[in-house]
Amino acid sequence: MNVLADLRRRFRAALESLDAGAGEVADMVLPSKDPKFGDYQANCAMPLGKRLGRPPREIAQELVDRLEVADLCEPPEIAGPGFINLRIRDDWLRDQLTQIVGDPNQGDPDRLGIVPTEEPKTYVLDFSSPNVAKPMHVGHIRSTVIGDALCRVLRQLGHRVISDNHIGDWGTQFGMIIYGYKHFADPQAIATDAVGELSRLYQRVNQLVDYHATREQKTPAIEQQIVELAARLEQMHDATELENPKDRKKADKRQRQSEGQLVDLRATLDNLRNQMAAAENDPELGPLLSQHADIGTAVLAETAALHAGDPTNQALWDQFLPACLASIDETYDRLHVTFDHSLGESFYHDRLAGVVEELVERDLARESEGAICVFLENDDAPFIIRKKDGAFLYATTDLATVQYRMAEWTPDAIIYVVDHRQSFHFKQLFETVKLWGYEGVQLEHVSFGTVLGEDGRPYKTRSGTAVGLTGLLDEAVERALKIVCDNDNARDVPLLSEEQRQSNAERIGIGAIKYADLAHNRTSDYVFSYDKMLAMNGNTAAYMQYSYARVRSIFGKGDIDVDSLRKSDAKLQLDHPSERALALALLQFSETLERVATDFRPNHLTAYLFELASAYSRFFENCPVLKAEDDQQRNSRLRLCDLTARTLAKGLDLLGIQVVERM
RNA sequence: GCGUCCGUAGCUCAAUUGGAUAGAGCACUGGUCUUCGGAACCAGGGGUUGGAGGUUCGAGUCCUCCCGGGCGUACCA
């Protein structure tokens, strides 16, 4: 049962009978924040009052008169400037929930009142997108976890979802591996641990490329900036005697800013020089630096050779790719994330030339400074689809990918779960795609913020490199294991076997990381903290898992057969306020999922689960279950417990998180 | 410079995209126990939503300016 959708439908009818075209404000029916305003509230009378030029309270009254909700609501109340407050009738709530608990017609214990969407769509969901050349790191968490959760929720609602992992298997990174293999490979290591060795090669080459880029480009550029800025500051001193106080203030500010920038630049320069010195003094790296002075261009040449079909490089690619993919799959197995397709960049490489050709032919792209570009309105920079050296880019691959997906699956929407730094790229991509002629498809950049360390800076290791994903998961599981063991050991009689402890720790640790990520509004940055995500209180996976285990333990303790419990067709009793509150929360699962799907925000679901767990907690405190007054009440409360457990488990499952039966 | 996102309680974050008295967790203070799982629950203090104007029945949310940050900005992905 989707209560919200039902109410909106009824309001729409009433609104349209009042004024043609007023139906659009039916979306202003919302769950109330505060119980004293009822369970739901309609805020449509105020905007309508303005449109019709009549007092909002009068409109509200007229709406209430036309509204047909007597079967599911108490008589609506009008409050304040024209709010319509709705309270769900207890008998209606009871009947709806009784049906969901038993779900007699569906026979599906997981349906839980979830109403399939009225308009099933086809979505292509593009997320995770790791690079084969380098190990997955903390930066891949959000895309992977959010993408997977959205995939599950959309499917649950009845949409057709095609998940596609657009793996980076054809870019400069692979050129680095090839270069590294040709110069630094240890054949022994390749034979025993290919992925580890390739990772080492990648890092080695990356260090060398970085060093030379720093030395030949970055450092001189910053030196240049410092000179310019210093010169500008000189001139500013002359301007301090301006007559107009406003101008003087402005000049002062600009001077302060420039001085600040100068300090920053000098610090950056020092930093770069230190890094270079560190590389030069490194006993392994140092001697290689001068031998590989042209490594930047050499790597690009290896990449270009691969793209051009060079047999040696192609053979190396064929040899290494499977091991790289297998290594990535290990991580996905651990995260329980799967994809329908993993069509990486390489899949599209023979389509790229055609894409550029077509855009040029259709006058959408043209040559500029040697590169082929799409010039879009109001953009400072063009969308470059072919470099002056003839190589293709990320942009070209993305265009070819859209073309393929449209031809293959004709989706209604393509959703990219990618961090916010790429929003300019997607803005350009989407505009180009529209110009290209794909007008009907919804293109959505579901962007997200950065994972920060406790210091508020992007989460890095002490040496400044990205934190590896495997290590991150390991540490979360390790910490979870310690908590699990400490707590279990503190019991009079420990509850868990050694195996259960291990498997619990895995579920709790991984769940903690996923949940922490999903619980934050995806558009904001968040601070990564093991202690917070593994806390037993608050909006965490561990608390949800604990809530679930606690509910389930009742059935063990009372020796209850859940199957026969579910077959009971006796009506539920919702006499205590906390029973009613729990029932209402349970009934709102369906509308919560709809909301997650509407704006692609899984944090609505985590917030819902936290509220549900809280509502259960109050119920559990106030309403004895096994020791209920009579069998009827006991039966009713047991079924509320059962539905709570199933809803918690299902909600977590839709977030890609597993529950544990005992913890 | 231009574009874009952000600034909410001591800390970490919400706020149904313009709705009623801005909510949670942690920390702090005080309470609940003959434990249906205490890894719990309840209550309290704590806010000029960075600042100043404006729009309107109503602003954390929209517009203008200011302060402070992040990110992006022609051939990386």
Task: For A466-481, write each residue's pLDDT tens digit.
Answer: 888 999 999 999 999 9
Q: Which amino acid is at A62?
A: E
pLDDT band at A338 (very low <50, low <70, confident <90, very high): very high
Q: What per-residue confidence (pLDDT) applies to A21?
A: 81
Of all nucleotides, the one whose C1′ comes closest to residue A249's CA is B66
A470 touches strand B (CB under 7 A): no
Residue A55 CB neighbour total at 10 angstroms: 13
The percentage of chain A sitting over the pLDDT mark of 90, rounded to a whole number, equals 63
pLDDT band at A199 (very low <50, low <70, confident <90, very high): confident
Contacts of A185 (CB under 8 A, 6+ apart): A197, A201
Tell me which residue of A434, A405, A393 sits closest to A171, measured CA to CA: A393
Of all nucleotides, the one whose C1′ comes closest to residue A490's CA is B39
Of all nucleotides, the one whose C1′ comes closest to residue A56's CA is B57
Residue entry with tokens 């561990």: A542
Structure tokens at A357: 């050709």
Q: Which strand B nucleotides have any atom less than 7 A from protein CB atoms? A: 1-6, 12-17, 19-21, 24-26, 36-42, 56-58, 66-77
A118 touches strand B (CB under 7 A): no
A524 touches strand B (CB under 7 A): yes
A387 touches strand B (CB under 7 A): yes
CA distances from A253 to A226, A228, A391 (A): 19, 18, 45
Q: What per-residue confidence (pLDDT) applies to A238?
A: 61
Q: What per-residue confidence (pLDDT) applies to A106?
A: 56
Interface ipTM: 0.95
Of all nucleotides, the one whose C1′ comes closest to residue A250's CA is B66
Which window residues (549-588, chain A) lie with Cβ within 7 Å of strand B? Answer: 549-550, 552-554, 557-558
Decide: A166 and A343 in contact? Cβ < 8 Å. yes
pLDDT at residue A130 greater than cutoff 90:
yes
Q: What per-residue confidence (pLDDT) applies to A633?
A: 92
Q: What per-residue confidence (pLDDT) applies to A195?
A: 86
A391 touches strand B (CB under 7 A): yes
Q: How many CA atoms lie within 13 A of A443 on its CB side?
A: 21
A168 touches strand B (CB under 7 A): yes
Q: What per-residue confidence (pLDDT) applies to A245?
A: 58
pLDDT at residue A226 greater than cutoff 60:
yes
Q: Which of A231-235, A318-322, A355-359, A478-482 has the lowest mean pLDDT?
A: A231-235
Give the pTM.
0.94
Mean pLDDT value of segment A351-369: 96
Q: Which amino acid is at A314?
A: Q
Helix or strand holding residue A448 (H, E) = strand A442-448
Of all nucleotides, the one whose C1′ comes closest to residue A641's CA is B36
A290 touches strand B (CB under 7 A): no
Radius of gyration over every alpha carbon of chain A, rounded to an integer in angstroms: 30
Mean pLDDT value of segment A319-327: 91
Of all nucleotides, the one whose C1′ comes closest to residue A627's CA is B36
Mean pLDDT value of segment A169-186: 90
Q: Which of A62-71, A241-250, A282-291, A454-463 has the lowest mean pLDDT?
A: A241-250
Mean pLDDT value of segment A266-274: 80
> Could you give the CA distance from residue A164 to residue A124 in angstroms, rounded to a whole number?
7
pLDDT at residue A598 greater than cutoff 80:
yes
A523 touches strand B (CB under 7 A): yes
A527 touches strand B (CB under 7 A): yes
A314 touches strand B (CB under 7 A): no
The residue among A231 and A455 whose pLDDT is bigger is A455
> Could you give the CA distance from residue A341 to residue A357 in angstroms, rounded to a whole number?
27
CA dihedral sign, ordered A557, A558, A563, A568 = negative
Decide: A128 and A147 in contact? Cβ < 8 Å. yes
Residues facing residue A416 across a β-bridge: A126, A445
Contacts of A131 (CB under 8 A, 6+ apart): A167, A168, A169, A171, A173
Digit-coded pLDDT (tens) for A493-543: 888 999 999 999 999 999 999 999 999 999 999 999 999 999 988 999 999
Q: pLDDT averaged over chain A?
A: 90
pLDDT at residue A103 greater than cutoff 70:
no
pLDDT band at A216 (very low <50, low <70, confident <90, very high): confident
A76 touches strand B (CB under 7 A): no
Of all nucleotides, the one whose C1′ comes closest to residue A540's CA is B25
pLDDT band at A247 (very low <50, low <70, confident <90, very high): low
A635 touches strand B (CB under 7 A): no
Q: Which of A137-146, A253-262, A612-621 has the lowest mean pLDDT?
A: A253-262
Q: Which of A218-227, A435-444, A482-491, A639-648 has the lowest mean pLDDT?
A: A218-227
Mean pLDDT value of segment A136-148: 94
Residue entry with tokens 């918690």: A648
A263 touches strand B (CB under 7 A): no
A537 touches strand B (CB under 7 A): yes
pLDDT at residue A214 greater than cutoff 90:
no
Nearest protein residue by Cα to C1' of nucleotide B16: A30
A251 touches strand B (CB under 7 A): no
Mean pLDDT value of segment A33-62: 90
